[in-house]
Amino acid sequence: MKRLSWYRLWQPVIGPRYFYRRGVAVATRTDILKVTDLSHEVDLGSDTLRILHKVNLTIEKGESVAIVGRSGSGKTTLLGLLAGLDTPSHGRVELDGQPISEFSEDERASLRAQRVGFVFQSFQLLPALTALENVMLPLELSGQSDAESQARELLQRVGLGERLQHTPRQLSGGEQQRVAIARAFAAHPKILFADEPTGNLDNNTGQAVSDLLMALNQEQGTTLVMVTHDEHLAARCERQLSIEAGEVSETRGVAAQGVAV
């Protein structure tokens, strides 16, 4: 996967909010992601490693989806292809109606800037900036005049109202991840991709971060697609996409069945 600068990955443009659940301005869902005959291979010189093979799937706006499977099964590869961080060997990926698998890297970066948020296992906070400044940064890059007030509100929402002026090294792992989540939601993205968002956290902190992700998914109607080894978190999603031998199968999560977890 090509490495991208943090600026190009995080540069946002504010988009509209969508609300779908709990009786709040419920709207009809439509697809935000469509994957057709997606395959991905790695050239090893004398051989070819097949990672994904003819994957077909759709993900609806406002949906929560977990990508699960054994280590090395291709979970993060699939996430990167869905998010436009890489291009497939074969097949087509459409994000919000745009054929990103056919876009140049610059075109994909522009689309991500407008419609996509990211949360990583390693937090990806800028160490020299405070929590407030980390969340303000994407808002300022998009020209928001009220970046500070928006960032303060988001950090209050994730329970860090008293930690605004702390740098990442002064925060616990769970607090750093909450800052990262606040930053990801700052631009009100249409879709949020999360790669092992609880992977570096203890059980209690991981549960709190899971609660926050699911709450923001419901409150803002942001589509949530995450890679996780956390079975409890995966079960809270409406669907689970399981990868084995390069192929994807689907199961319905408890959220789709109306079961609280």
192-224 pLDDT, tens per residue? 999 999 888 888 888 888 998 898 888 889 999
Given this model, what pLDDT does residue 45 score? 83
Q: Which residues of the chain have pLDDT under 70?
A: 1-29, 253-261
The tally of CA atoms less than 13 A away on the side-chain side of residue 209 is: 30
Nearest to 33 by CA among 109, 111, 123: 111
Burial class, 105, CB count within 10 angstroms (exposed 0-12 / middle 13-18 / buried 19+): middle
Q: How far apart are CA 142 and CA 139, in angstroms?
A: 5
- What pLDDT is stored for residue 191 in this prediction? 95
The conformation of residue 160, written as its DSSP 8-state character, comes to -
pLDDT (0 to 100) of residue 256: 52
DSSP secondary structure code for residue 128 in this structure: T
Task: Give the model's pLDDT for residue 219.
Answer: 87
Q: What is the CATH number of domain 20-252?
A: 3.40.50.300
Half-sphere exposure of 95 (CA within 13 A, CB side): 30
Residue 19's identity, in one-letter code, is F
Q: 105-125, pLDDT tens digit by residue?
A: 999 999 998 899 999 888 999
Give the pTM: 0.81
pLDDT at 257: 53
Q: Which amino acid is at 260?
A: A
